[in-house]
Amino acid sequence: MSFLIDRDTRLIVQGITGREGTFHTEQMLAYDTNVVAGVTPGKGGSEVLGVPVYNTVLEAMERHNANTTVLFVPPKFLYGAAYEAIMSGMPLVITIAEGTPVHDMLKLHHLAKEKGVTLIGPNSFGVISPGKAKAGFMAHHLFSPGNVGIMSRSATNCYETVFLMKKAGFGQSTVIGVGGDMIPGSTFIDLLPQFEADEETEFIIMIGEIGGSEEELAAAYIKENITKPVIALIAGKNAPKGTSMGHAGAIVSPDGEGSAESKEEALTAVGVCVAESTQDIIRILKGLK
Amino acid sequence: MKLLEYMARDVFDAYEIPSTSGAIAGSLDELKVLAPDQDYPVAIKAQVQTGGRGKAGGIQFADDEQEFLEKGRKILGMTINGFKVKKVFINPKVDIDREMYLSFTLDRKTKLPVMIFSPEGGVEINEIAEKNPEKLVKQIIPPGNKLDDFFIRYAMDKTGLEPELKDQFMVFCRKLYNAFIGHDCMLAEINPLIVDPDGKLLALDSKVDIDDNALYRHPEILPFKDEMTSDATVREARSFNFLFIPIKDEGNIAIISNGSGMIMSTIDLISKNKMHVTCVLDLGGGATSDRVKEALRIVASRRNVDTIFINIFGGITRCDEIAGGVDAAMGNLGDTRLLIRLEGTNKEAGLSLLESLEGNIRIVDGLDEGVAALGEEVKA
């Protein structure tokens, strides 16, 4: 059993009637994901690709016993849609949009914690349990089933990693896009306990980058609580200070907070294998096997 | 987006934060129009998106019209920390009894707002932290978006703020916090927050940094976005919805890629191999050949660029569209050398088109292989 999404996931798609929502619902269905309903306020009663659409998350949950939602809504509407899902009691809320205001995430991050909801993203490709189900827009053909769990702040670095893994004969248990924003719904330390408990995960890869202190916090947590081998990559070692590198969260402050050096140092000190590049992750994986 | 002081002052005014009223001038002619109406002495302040303008001579005082024009013109010609001064903000000169510091910003570790206060302001906050750590309070505001009064009272007592200033300070804090939340700020800072000889608190400077992703909620500020971007290439790239980032002046290599993480990794690998990346352009997802052509034109015309490494890992981005853009741009790239790595969606179609092209172009398979080839090309 994969811990976030699996064959028994009953997924709803918020924003299913939009262009992106419809396109990726088709992709998720093609991957045999159990998409049970869609939600678009005002479009209740219609159907998209044979999937029934409702006006509210509550109704979709009530009629289909849905347990996960993925939000294909523009950043302007992310707050409202995620708020509805959290307050409706949805246990797992996966957000995708890039460009969500940070003050919106400030509220949602803490609201989700308070309500005991797992909030993933935004600025994320979503979550995939290869061969079982996906909730998001990731290029699923790159992924393959296996025993390596991945959490990544970057989609492209994750793609590169799973592509190289496939070539080398490695696969993944669960892959989570924690996203590139300054305040994500879930951070590395929120997800590490689940990877540690997950029977299908034997190795953990953490793809981090400059900015913030999530990797440092993860290092402290790993030291006390994680027995599985962890491999980490920190992107952005040579990025200029004070410049956001595209991801809103990928910025080293002028006084040096959030630097790659600080993260690599903290991780190395607790025995995490720090990779120099995506290719280097494969070398380390081979050594651990 | 970091606002200039006079724009931040408009935000402060909207929340009724007490400050001086000022005028703005961008040329000698505008200074001449303002000169007769000033109530001298006045302060003339350079409007730049950088700190340390005082030390650089960017704040000066004038006692009469002649001095006003001389000094105003001088400041308008300055460049401070690489930022050209295009405007000056003119305020009445205020007598200062003492200077304090107050700001609200985001604490990334706790993912909460933090209030930072020191009754010893006027210098950079890091300096206060080093010299007078006991005079500095950092108070995290817990979830709920409400600033309770006891947090403010705690900060005042902790730093020994005089009782006669407490009521005014309380009001200042609430108003600045309202501005921080209401205007989607990454930072709202008053430094110095001064006490004048009558014991009145006044914001003598205003620093506001607004979340770019929330600018749509503040339409009055949106039009300044281009004005606040001094780099013309960044502005042009933005008009096509690309993100262009200058990295350093050294080096002749540019990177075009389709995602922030991949761009950072590519810079890291190239730097590790002792080469220098001068700039990067992020296409984002799903770029069409027309847009790829524009991206190549923009990057190739950037100063110092003689080699462009196109590193694509296509998910929603299609490799054949990338190749089509290269094909369309080829005639206009001059001597620029192209190194191209394509992976992902429609890779084969992309590669077969690229292989048919003539010119200064080399195709590589894989990121590490690409960086190795880059080494050979640059040294050749």
pLDDT per residue over A180-209, tens digit each? 999 999 999 999 999 999 999 999 999 999
Question: What CATH number does the domain containing B264 carry?
Answer: 3.40.50.261
Cβ distance B213 to A248 less than 8 Å, yes or no, reads: yes
Nearest C-alpha neighbor of B300 from the set B365, B366, B359, B217: B359
Rg (CA), chain A: 18
Q: 3-class SS at B160?
A: coil
> Do A154 and B260 make contact, defined as CB atoms within 8 angstroms?
yes
Tokens representing A142?
Answer: 């790159």
| B61 & B135 share domain | no
Beta bridge partner(s), residue A13:
A38, A70
> A86: helix, coil or strand?
helix
Q: Catalytic: A247?
A: yes
Give the residue from chain B lying closest to A110, CA to CA: B143
Does residue A74 have a pLDDT over 70? yes
Given B55, B73, B92, the domain boundary residue is: B92
Answer whether B368 touches A (CB < 8 Å): yes
Render B335-374 in DSSP notation, one character per residue. Answer: T-EEEEEEEETTHHHHHHHHHT--SSEEEESSHHHHHHHH
B261:A235 CB<8 A? yes
Which ipTM was obtained for this model? 0.95
Contact A110 B112 (CB under 8 A): yes
- Can you give the CATH number for the domain in which B86 is found? 3.30.1490.20
Q: How far is CA B221 from the centre of its chain?
A: 14
* Contact criterion met (CB < 8 Å) for B113 and A158: no
Let me know whether B82 and B104 are in one domain. no
pLDDT at position B126 over 90:
no
Same domain, B315 and B241: yes
Q: Is B86 exposed, middle or buried (0-12, 13-18, 19+ CB in 10 A)?
A: middle
DSSP per-residue string spanning A134-166: EEE---GGG--EEEEEEEES-HHHHHHHHHHHH
Distances (CA, A) of B170 to B14, B112, B154, B208, B364: 18, 20, 11, 20, 63
Q: Which of A77, A186, A238 to mutate to test the interface with B (most CBs of B within 10 A)?
A: A238
Contact A160 B243 (CB under 8 A): no
Contact B367 A182 (CB under 8 A): no
Q: Are residues B47 and B132 in the same domain?
A: no
- Is residue B277 within 8 angstroms of chain A, CB to CB? yes
CB contact under 8 A, B261 and A101: no
Do residues A233 and A260 touch, judged by C-beta distance below 8 A?
A: no
Q: Which of the four pLDDT bands, split at 50, 70 and 90, describes residue A228? A: very high
Q: B267: nearest CA in chain A?
A: A238
3-state secondary structure of B61: strand
Q: What is the mean pLDDT of residues B101-110?
A: 95
Residue of A nearest to B107 (CA): A212
Rounded mean pLDDT, B210-215: 96
Last residue of a domain, one of B42, B77, B92: B92
Which tokens belong to B133?
Answer: 């750590």
What average pLDDT does range A95-124 have in this prediction? 97
Q: Give me the pLDDT at residue B8, please.
A: 96
Least confident of B9-18, B144-153, B162-171: B144-153
Total domains in chain B come to 3
Distance from the A126 Cα atom to the nearest Cα atom in chain B, whole angstroms: 14
B187 shares contact with chain A (CB less than 8 Å): no
CB contact A147 to B (< 8 Å): no
Contact A156 B259 (CB under 8 A): yes
Tokens standing for residue A34: 């159990």
Q: Report yes or no: B313 at the A interface, CB cutoff 8 Å.
A: yes
Kindly state the average pLDDT of the residues A151-169.
97
Task: Answer whether residue B223 is part of any domain.
Answer: no
Give B83 to chain A, closest Cα distance, Å: 15
Mutate to test the interface with A, among B116, B189, B260, B368 (most CBs of A within 10 A): B260
Rounded Cα gap, residues B110 and B366, in angstroms: 39
Residue B108 and residue B199 in one domain: yes
Question: What integer pLDDT is reported at residue B224 of this predicted model?
Answer: 87
Name the phi and psi angles at B334, rounded to 5: 60, -130
- Grade residue B96 by pLDDT with cuts at 50, 70 and 90: very high
Mean pLDDT of chain B: 94
Residue where a domain terminates, one of B61, B92, B123: B92
CB count in 10 Å sphere of residue B140:
13
Percent of chain A whose predicted confidence (pLDDT) is above 70:
100
- Is any Cβ of chain A less than 8 angstroms from the Cβ of B367? yes
Write out chain B residues lying below 8 Å of A248, CB-based. Answer: 212-213
Cβ distance of A154 and B316 shorter than 8 Å: no
Considering the domain boundaries, does residue B3 fall inside one? no
The verdict on A49 touching B (C-beta cutoff 8 Å) is: no
Evaluate whether residue B222 is within a structural domain.
no
> Is A154 close to B269, i.e. CB distance below 8 A?
no
Chain B residues with CB inside 8 Å of A279's CB? 367-368
Residue A242 pLDDT level (bands cut at 50, 70, 90): confident
Q: Averaged over A83-93, what is the pLDDT?
A: 98
Contact A110 B111 (CB under 8 A): yes
Measured N-to-C along each axis, helices A214-225 and A188-197 cross at an angle, to the nearest 10 degrees, of 30
Question: Does residue B362 belong to any structural domain of this protein?
Answer: yes
Asked whether residue B16 is assigned to any structural domain, the reply reads: no
Q: Tell me whether residues B109 and A213 touch, CB distance under 8 A.
A: yes
Provide the H-helix boundaries in chain A. 19-30, 57-64, 75-87, 102-115, 155-167, 188-197, 214-225, 260-269, 278-288
Strand order in the sheet with B277-282: B243-246, B277-282, B253-257, B307-314, B337-344, B361-364
Interface contact A281, partner B, CB < 8 A:
no
B261 touches chain A (CB under 8 A): yes
Distance of CA B4 to the CA centre of its chain: 11
Structure tokens at A150: 């991945």
- Could you tell me if residue B157 is inside a domain? yes
Mean pLDDT over all residues of chain A? 96
- The shortest C-alpha distance from B182 to chain A (Å) reads 10
From B251's Cα to the closest Cα of chain A, the distance in A is 13
Give me the total of CB pairs closer than 8 Å, taking one residue from chain A and one from chain B: 147
- Please give the residue range of the domain that contains residue B45: 21-92
Hey, of A103, A251, A278, which one would you mutate to test binding to chain B, going by the most B CBs within 10 A of its CB?
Answer: A103
State the smallest CA–CA distance between residue A111 and chain B in angstroms: 8
Q: B243 with B365, same domain? A: yes
Residue A270's SS3 state is coil
Give the pLDDT score at A194.
Answer: 97
Are B105 and B84 found together in one domain? no
Q: Which of A142, A158, A245 faces B264 most closely, judged by CB atoms?
A: A245
Whether the per-residue pLDDT at B380 is higher than 70: the answer is no
Q: Are A221 and A230 in contact (CB under 8 A)?
A: no
What is the reported pTM?
0.95
Q: What is each CA distance from A256 to A36, A220, B267, in whole angstroms?
A: 47, 20, 19
Q: Does B345 touch chain A (CB under 8 A)?
A: yes
- A79 Cα to chain B: minimum distance (Å): 12
Mutate which: B83, B104, B108, B280, vs A, most A CBs within 10 A: B108
Please report which confidence band the pLDDT of residue A232 belongs to, taking 50, 70 and 90 as the band edges: very high
Establish if A208 touches chain B: CB-CB under 8 angstroms: no
Using one digit for the tens of pLDDT, what is the confidence trace for B216-254? 999 999 888 888 888 999 999 999 999 999 999 888 999
Per-residue confidence (pLDDT) for residue B230, from 0 to 100: 81
Do B36 and B136 have their domain in common?
Answer: no
- Give the tens place of pLDDT for each residue, B34-79: 999 999 999 999 999 888 898 899 999 999 999 999 999 999 999 9
Q: What distance in Å separates residue B2's CA from the closest CA in chain A?
A: 12
- Residue from A245, A278, A33, A40 nearest A123 by CA: A245
Same domain, B297 and B184: no
Claim to verify: residue B77 and residue B156 sit in the same structural domain: no
Q: What is the pLDDT of residue B50?
A: 85
3-class state of residue A133 by DSSP: strand
Same domain, B247 and B375: yes
**Is position B13 within any domain?**
no
Q: Specify if B191 maps to a domain.
A: yes
User: What pLDDT digit, counting tens, does each position of A247-275 carry?
Assistant: 989 998 877 889 999 999 999 999 999 99
CATH number for the domain that contains residue B190: 3.30.470.20
> Mind listing the pLDDT tens digit for each residue in A24-65?
999 999 999 999 999 999 999 999 999 999 999 999 999 999
Length of chain A: 289
Contact A277 B260 (CB under 8 A): no
Residue of B nearest to A234 (CA): B265
DSSP state of A124: S
Q: Do A277 and B367 touch (CB under 8 A)?
A: yes
Residue with the larger pLDDT of the pair B61 and B345: B61
Residues B112 and B190 in one domain: yes
